[in-house]
A and B are shown apart, each in its own frame.
Chain A
């Protein structure tokens, strides 16, 4: 019986001893930390996505409390959350412009011409290291959903045409899909920039259109129709300069024979299903 009690007694004794040591340490060796950091961290979404440029939410909270950045840099938080943080820290929320991930390619399975069949491991980068997948275009979307897997917020889903459809409400403009795409097709674009070039082929004329039905053939009509200076042709692709002062209008896309420049009211590829290959 004695032996039976001895072991618990020793354990309790050790526990009490170290508990006391810890209690004393807590009392005398305490490091003072700004309690606001912890509180701010609680208000942040806690996804550690890195979209703000910080390694995670806690370092972001530290910088917030130090006043080095605005709460608005966190693109993931909802507006109410940001208001709360701004109120708590007595600073201006400074909400940044809403960004959304856009794909610089419109060539899904129905548009891009297939020259081979890829049968390896499912993944864009895995296909890119093996002859660049099956599509003839060496610059466009591979359609094997690396971005869908990379997205932290479940915002990207491959549509029936094999292109990633970005849910604009869920997209928090973190750079996960930008980093995942082996062809560098995703970019984070302000939501109010509606004129968008949906092609990445640096070829001109027939060389481009024989690879894909929605390829930009560098005809330059969009540049001619838009406000002066708004669209310039660089490397056989139109480049839209929103800072040029010219007002972007849907007029620029009307004469595009291949519909590679688009006017986006909402999500990309919304009515693509109805647009079959060749029916341009």
Chain B
């Protein structure tokens, strides 16, 4: 019976990419030494960009707020280093476009210590105060989307959250940041879970971990106090197990309807990294100024799991890992399935960047594209039950408006369709192209 229930811990469709995690899963998290130049883009989270509150030439301390939220769906930024604000101007971002950012030059003689020990009395805080505190700490979803965490926390009246679901699936190949965090800081994870659970008014906290991390499951389970309303749920190894709607289906066997949010099924989903960041802020007074990044892939000399101050250029991170091997062709920010290749090594590490993956010719060679043979593998792979092959064909013939009828905006670009396509059609890129065209559509009169 138990084995049978285990089988249900699953969602429909999805794919099974090779996980390639051996490279870094046993490497302890290291700290990267401080460099010289840091670039903090004002729009590194989803929503309205932050507003800079410092000026060029000003001295800033590590952990000091340098930009305030530009609205409700926005968050603040803190200086990752003690140093001087060099410039507030446009810098190249991950998407290749130039966007406003604060450039900070680190002070080579500063101790770079955060004024620690200022724990915050979170228990006495009201719901509103807590939400504001999370916004002021600059905490966003650390799984990759970088959605401001406080927006998820503020539930409208009449909606109640039954469960806090903590996402430790880390279903993307190569990445091991959440895995290492769970192994090395299970106490912080459980502390953060308790804070979040109480503030959300949830009955229980559930930590979902893919079954290919038995050590993490064991360690987290060992740290749970007897009687605490926290449980660990091992999940089937499958991509995209870590997508929030998929995970809710796997853990609670509830489907979140298209266009609705997890809160509509009384669940709040947060990444392991986000929960640890919450604990770090409320118990240790440390705003979000650094994050764990996996540097891996066949093109990097020494793969590693690193604590990187936000705003560090990728160049410095790769240099710390021994540089690039000859034959490197592509550097991807994020995981190989959903991450984005970067065109310049000067782009900084952002709040939502969980990995820097370096690939060589072998993995990135563009295989010859064949016509769609209507095999239907992408339909069977799509966890959102869309029709990727139809969407790709429409996008190729630039019939973007018709794609709306095929629910193109429900696509989360997880990459299952492209992964499963035997004809090597770049389906996700075609869908992204269409979404970009539809959202930047110019009015004929303008």
> Interface of A with B (CB < 8 Å)?
50, 53, 115-117, 119-121, 123, 125-126, 128-134, 136, 138, 149-150, 175, 178-179, 182, 184, 202-203
CB contacts (< 8 Å) of B442 on chain A: these are 178-179, 184
Question: How many Å lie between the Cα of A220 and that of B437 in the bound state?
Answer: 35
Known: A119-B364, A120-B366. A131 touches B341 (CB 8 A): yes
CB contacts (< 8 Å) of A128 on chain B: these are 96, 436
**Number of B positions contacting A (CB below 8 A):** 27
Contact with A along B425-440 (1 / 0, CB 8 A): 0100110110011001
A138 partner, pick from B94, B97, B430, B433, beta carbons under 8 A:
B97
CB contacts (< 8 Å) of B98 on chain A: these are 138
Question: How many Å lie between the Cα of A34 and that of B117 in the bound state?
Answer: 85
Q: Contacts A119-B364, A175-B444 given; 10 further ones with Cβ under 8 A?
A: A116-B343, A121-B426, A126-B432, A130-B432, A131-B94, A131-B95, A131-B96, A136-B344, A138-B98, A184-B442
B398 in the interface (beta carbon within 8 A): yes
**Max count, chain B CB within 10 A of own CB: residue among A119, A129, A132, A134:** A129
Contact A115 B429 (CB under 8 A): no
Q: Can you spell out 29 A-B residue pairs with CB atoms less than 8 angstroms apart?
A: A53-B444, A116-B344, A120-B366, A120-B426, A121-B426, A121-B433, A123-B433, A125-B436, A125-B437, A126-B426, A126-B430, A126-B432, A126-B433, A129-B429, A130-B96, A130-B341, A132-B96, A133-B343, A136-B344, A138-B96, A138-B97, A149-B398, A175-B444, A178-B442, A179-B442, A179-B444, A182-B437, A184-B442, A202-B90
Question: How many Å lie between the Cα of A130 and that of B444 in the bound state?
Answer: 26
> Interface of B with A (CB < 8 Å)?
90, 92, 94-98, 329, 340-344, 364, 366, 398, 426, 429-430, 432-433, 436-437, 440, 442, 444-445
Question: How many Å lie between the Cα of A134 and that of B330 in the bound state?
Answer: 12
Question: How many Å lie between the Cα of A136 and that of B346 in the bound state?
Answer: 12
Question: How many Å lie between the Cα of A128 and that of B97 in the bound state?
Answer: 9
Question: How many Å lie between the Cα of A132 and that of B426 in the bound state?
Answer: 17
B343 partner, pick from A131, A178, A184, beta carbons under 8 A:
A131
B340 partner, pick from A121, A131, A134, A182, beta carbons under 8 A:
A131
Question: How many Å lie between the Cα of A184 and that of B440 in the bound state?
Answer: 10
The 3 closest A-B pairs by CB, nearest first: A132-B96, A116-B343, A131-B343
A182 partner, pick from B341, B429, B436, beta carbons under 8 A:
B436
CB contacts (< 8 Å) of A115 on chain B: these are 343-344
Closest Cβ neighbor of A118 among chain B residues: B343
Question: How many Å lie between the Cα of A151 and that of B221 in the bound state?
Answer: 62
Question: How many Å lie between the Cα of A37 and that of B429 in the bound state?
Answer: 45
Within the complex, what minimum Cβ distance (angstroms) separates B439 from chain A? 11
CB contacts (< 8 Å) of A133 on chain B: these are 96, 343
Closest Cβ neighbor of A125 among chain B residues: B433
Within the complex, what minimum Cβ distance (angstroms) separates B428 from chain A? 10
CB contacts (< 8 Å) of B341 on chain A: these are 130-131
Closest Cβ neighbor of B392 among chain A residues: A121
Closest Cβ neighbor of B346 among chain A residues: A115
CB contacts (< 8 Å) of B90 on chain A: these are 202-203
Within the complex, what minimum Cβ distance (angstroms) separates B362 from chain A? 14
Contact B342 A131 (CB under 8 A): yes
CB contacts (< 8 Å) of B92 on chain A: these are 138
**Max count, chain B CB within 10 A of own CB: residue among A117, A119, A202:** A119
Question: How many Å lie between the Cα of A132 and that of B93 in the bound state?
Answer: 10
Question: How many Å lie between the Cα of A184 and that of B443 in the bound state?
Answer: 13
Within the complex, what minimum Cβ distance (angstroms) separates B56 from chain A? 16
Within the complex, what minimum Cβ distance (angstroms) separates A55 from chain B? 10
Question: How many Å lie between the Cα of A268 and that of B440 in the bound state?
Answer: 27
Closest Cβ neighbor of A132 among chain B residues: B96
CB contacts (< 8 Å) of B437 on chain A: these are 125, 182
Contact B440 A132 (CB under 8 A): no
Question: How many Å lie between the Cα of A113 and that of B381 in the bound state?
Answer: 40
CB contacts (< 8 Å) of A178 on chain B: these are 442
CB contacts (< 8 Å) of B444 on chain A: these are 50, 53, 175, 179
Known: A126-B430, A128-B436, A130-B341. A119 touches B96 (CB 8 A): no
Contact A129 B97 (CB under 8 A): no
Within the complex, what minimum Cβ distance (angstroms) separates B60 from chain A? 24
Question: How many Å lie between the Cα of A150 and that of B442 in the bound state?
Answer: 15
Known: A131-B96, A132-B343. A119 touches B436 (CB 8 A): no
Question: How many Å lie between the Cα of A121 and that of B430 in the bound state?
Answer: 8
CB contacts (< 8 Å) of B430 on chain A: these are 121, 126
Closest Cβ neighbor of B96 among chain A residues: A132
Within the complex, what minimum Cβ distance (angstroms) separates A199 from chain B? 15
Closest Cβ neighbor of B344 among chain A residues: A115
CB contacts (< 8 Å) of A150 on chain B: these are 398
CB contacts (< 8 Å) of A184 on chain B: these are 442
Question: How many Å lie between the Cα of A128 and that of B437 in the bound state?
Answer: 10
CB contacts (< 8 Å) of B329 on chain A: these are 117
Closest Cβ neighbor of B366 among chain A residues: A119
CB contacts (< 8 Å) of A131 on chain B: these are 94-96, 340-343
